A and B are shown apart, each in its own frame.
Chain A
């Protein structure tokens, strides 16, 4: 048994590939907990960031700087009465939030947090993600229909039309990136660097490895083609997750709350959870396909080789740059901890605030501790990939929040127009251009 558990640690694949049920379970639980924690963080961050963009403070009461607000909210939601409209279709009504949540979490099976940090690596990983996440719309449609109420129905109609439409443009943009994995040459235009052979793959891990092999993130590949396809995906993914400025299915000023108008308490919180999980999932696709997944930035910067005995061995390809970037998780966590300490120090010196101050300081200490643990070489090397992946996803999540506090909402027909008449033609054009360019360059290089 022990061997069974430890044997995986020496393998270099994902637990799914190794067929190790124990580690699969561990990974699933880890990812489930991680995504749930991410949703909680997002909840707090969204409220705080939006508040600061809107010249207000946001939650400040529950815990220092409202840090415990998400927990208070979760408790409130769990204790709320679970209501169902009288004429609602009870089976479908209860099934809908479950489906949405299951779908939102299932996609994380193939998300590659690192070369071996994924539940499994599927041959059709990308297709799996797109397919499963496209099932989320089913849950929304079911919720809207089963509520037997007009606003949810309108929300569901909008949602289904919107998500189906944007999937098309999204698919085309994704294909562009997939096409890039089949190129041989390295560098932005495929003419420099190592001429490793690419075969083209739909595997999420394979796609990141292709970017590593070509020494370029696909966002820079064939500039500006990669960038354009990334932008198309970035727009489509906002529409796909029903977020501002494409949040028509839940446009509060028009449809009160859209498809989840009639839901309350725990079932409503499932929709909430699924929405944020879906945001993280599509952001993961974007990061994997265009932003180099777990790869750290500046792969082409070189510095002098250094060696610190017992801590850093010389001989890595980028020398001191590697060392500096390897310290990024440490800097980030210790920095966040320092911010917490600063906040605790600046808090009003009043006995009433003592618990809050201590709490914030303790939280800061926890963060700093996590940062310091990342210094340990064994942890450092394993955490690196996950850190960069999560950091990139976090940037994308920040964009979501930023959009929401900046843009007005699109109207339905305009949304459709943007999807079908603007994004889709551009996406197809970019796809064709990428294919042509790839073939031409490889023919030239071969000649």
Chain B
């Protein structure tokens, strides 16, 4: 189907993502922050869809919204929110934070400036119909090693988490 009102949806989704991002760090109540983060993630999923990457969008929703954020909320709900609200919101690492965000921002700016030179064909358009298959071919073909390393890393992290949690019980 042909795209309809693309700029409108782009600005809407991008705006929602930014709004969510700002809310995440400004809300005092951690549950509200988490919900704002979910808004950001959903807006991102929408942008993926607009980029003809439906598989990534679906995975974004399943994993981040349906899985990770639920666990976030799970943990936050067990925390005493009343006391957490009274704690200072921005801790002493704000210098590091500013430096990091500046660096990231410059990276984005440079990518935008030099973008046309780096990506001459602008957007590698994947076939909408076989998007999932294409991703599979990349993951299990060209980038198999990286994929396996990443999964190994996740496995290690998982075992580490289990071990750390086990100690308390």
Contacts and interface: CB of A to CB of B under 8 A. Distances in A.
Instruction: Determine direct contact between A and B, CB below 8 Å.
Output: yes
Q: How large is the interface on A (under 10, 10 to 19, 20 to 34, 35 or more residues)?
A: 35 or more
Contacts of A137: 66, 70
Contacts of B65: 131, 134-135, 138
Majority-rule SS of B interface residues: helix
Majority-rule SS of A interface residues: helix
Interface in A88-126: 89, 91-92, 95, 120, 122-124
Given A124-B58, A138-B70, A145 B132 contact: no
Interface residues of B, number: 30
B162 to A, nearest CB: 12
B26 interface: no
B142 interface: no
B58 A157 contact: no
Interface string B121-149: 00000001111110000000000000000
B74 A157 contact: yes
Contacts of A16: 1
Nearest to B45: A131
A311 B25 CA distance: 68
A134 B58 contact: no
Given A89-B29, A167-B67, A145 B62 contact: no
B73 A167 contact: no
Interface string A16-29: 11110000000000
Contacts of B130: 123, 199
Given A134-B65, A134-B67, A141-B73, A123 B129 contact: yes
Interface string B56-72: 01110110011101110
Nearest to A91: B32
A167 B35 CA distance: 21
A153 B132 CA distance: 38
Given A145-B73, A164-B67, A19 B2 contact: yes
B21 interface: no
A348 interface: no
A128 B54 CA distance: 9
A93 to B, nearest CB: 11
Contacts of A163: 70
Contact of B77 (A18, A156, A167): A156
A200 B133 contact: yes
A145 B55 contact: no
Contact of B69 (A122, A128, A138): A138
Contacts of A91: 32
B31 interface: yes
Nearest to B76: A145
Interface in A125-171: 127-128, 130-132, 134-135, 137-138, 141-142, 144-145, 153, 156-157, 160-161, 163-164, 167
Q: Rank and list the top 3 A-B pairs by shortest CB-CB distance, nearest first.
A: A134-B66, A127-B58, A131-B61
9 contacts: A92-B35, A123-B131, A127-B59, A131-B58, A132-B61, A141-B74, A145-B73, A200-B133, A202-B132
